[in-house]
Amino acid sequence: MGDASDRMRVSAWVREHGPSLQRFLRARVRDEHAAADLVQEVFYRAWRKRLQYEPQSKDRAYLFAIADRLACDHLRRPHRMAVFAELEEPAECGDPAGGLLEAENAALVREELSRLSDAQQRTLLLRFFAGMSFQEIADALGCPLGTVLSHCRRGLERLREALAGELA
Amino acid sequence: MMDHDRVEKITAPDGAAQDLDEEEARLRDAWLALTNALGNAPNGAPSLDPDDVYAELMSRERRRAKSNRRTAVVCAASLIIAVVVGVFAWNRGPAEERIGGNDVAMVPIPAWDDDWEASAREVERELLANAESLRYETRVAWIDRELDFLFVECVRVWTTL
């Protein structure tokens, strides 16, 4: 069923991409438990299709494309929406006042992110967490490159407008 | 269509963005705010252990294979049952027709108005003739019934005599 090379490959996936996949899915589905389940599902699906997909250099884009599709499927089901900001806890920091301010700003940004359209969120999150090129994002989202660039730019414009008077 | 290079520059990793105009710089600030917020977000989930993940993959694969085997067995059993029922239904009508299809003609019984030795010889000849004509290698229901009838007649004749 599985051999040593499979085991090494899965271990490499988990070590290199596991944490960022966790964070990406957590940001997408806004549910910690669901994100944990989806991470496992990402690795399972990637492992099952490993024979159909060989190029090693594209592992990150491959895994995040699967994660994005799973997150979309998850969000299509009812009773899945939660408030992203509620799930985030303030980050630990040496300076309590500065840390609190920073955490508040971060929470504000994440809240504004959750108000963007789904396509804009997917584009920005894949760009940040997966480090995918816009062409790879376009392939993963199944839309033209120009549309992806437009999503990215409009998403950033909306974030900028929302945060212009809010960030301390 | 947006300028690909400009958006690449705006969303480039730290230190890689250069020669930005005022508008791009503002979008760059929004991007950096986003990346800081996402990058600093605490990861509340426990860290993944590669061995645990691989063990879970194997476990799921075993469950899937087991489920597939069970499905295959159920499908095969259903197919066998369907074939057996079909064969039974297909053969049922024609078999009955074959069994009941050939009526046994009544063998005329000779009149008993002569002396009994002649009648007995006549019956014996009849029996021998019938026995020869009814000698088949396979058992057929109507032939069996014919033989039974002749046997009973023989017994009745000999009892009477």
Whether the CB-CB separation of B10 and B24 falls below 8 Å is answered with yes
Mutate: best of B6, B9, B10, B11, partner A, most A CBs <10 A: B11
Residue B102's pLDDT band (cuts 50, 70, 90)? low
Percentage of chain A exceeding pLDDT 70: 79
pLDDT at B106 over 90: no
Say if CB B116 and CB B158 are below 8 A apart. Answer: no
Contact in structure between A141 and A148 (CB atoms under 8 Å):
yes
Q: Which of B90-104, B126-140, B147-161 has the lowest mean pLDDT?
A: B90-104
Q: How far is A15 from chain B (nearest CA, A)?
A: 7
- Contact partners, residue A107, CB within 8 Å, separation at least 6: A85, A88, A90, B37
Query: Which residues in chain B have their CB less than 8 angstroms from residue A23's CB?
Result: 38, 41, 43
Predicted confidence at residue B1, as pLDDT, reads 46
**Predicted local distance difference test score (pLDDT) of residue B13:** 75
Q: How many CB pairs under 8 A join A and B?
A: 137
Q: Are A119 and A142 in contact (CB under 8 A)?
A: no
Separation between Cα atoms, residue A158 and residue A153, nearest integer Å: 9
Q: Which of residues 50-109 of B touch A (CB under 8 A)?
A: 50-51, 53-54, 56-58, 60-62, 65
**Helix spans in chain B (H):** 4-10, 22-40, 50-101, 116-133, 141-160
**Integer Cα distance of B49 and B92 in angstroms:** 64
ipTM above 0.85, yes or no: no
Q: Answer yes or no: pTM beyond 0.80.
A: no
pLDDT tier at B113, thresholds 50, 70, 90 = low
CB of B47 closer than 8 Å to CB of A36: no
Residue indicated by tokens 């950033």: A156
Distances (CA, A) of B141 to A15, B17, B73, B96, B137: 80, 100, 41, 11, 13
Over its C-alpha atoms, chain B yields an Rg (Å, rounded) of 48
- Residue A53's pLDDT is what? 66
Q: What is the pLDDT of residues B39-72, one digit of tens each?
A: 766 656 667 888 898 999 899 999 999 999 999 9
Residues (pLDDT < 70) of chain A are: 1-2, 51, 53-57, 79-102, 165-168
More confident residue, B98 or B36: B36
